[in-house]
Amino acid sequence: RLAEIAYQVNQDTDNIGARRLHTILEKMLEDLSFEAPSMPNAVVDITPQYVDDKLKSISTNKDLSAFIL
C-alpha cells in the first residue's frame, strides 16, 4: 500500500522516484518514532489500514502532496 501511495503522488506531482517513497515512509513513521522510547518491547503492526490512516491527507490532497519531497 505504501508503494501505491508513493507511486500515485509521483504521478500527480513531480516524479522523483524512490526519494518520494523514502519521504513518505518517514512521514508515516513520524509519530511512532517519537513515541517509541516510551514503548519498550512493544510490537507495532504496520497494516494497510495503518498506512491509510497515517497518509490519507497526503494521498488525497494534491497541494500537500507537492510538498512531500
Give residue-wise pLDDT tens across range 7-58: 888 888 888 888 888 989 998 999 999 999 999 999 999 999 999 999 887 7
Q: Cell digits for 37? A: 522510547
The rounded distance, in Å, linking the Cα atoms of 23 and 41 is 26
The answer to whether residue 61 scores a pLDDT higher than 70 is: no
In the chain, the number of structural domains is 1
The answer to whether residue 66 scores a pLDDT higher than 80 is: no
Q: Which range of residues forms the domain containing residue 36?
A: 2-65
Residue 43 confidence (pLDDT): 93
The answer to whether residue 68 scores a pLDDT higher than 90 is: no
Residue length, the chain? 69
By three-state DSSP, how is residue 29 classified?
A: helix
Q: Cell digits for 53? A: 490512516
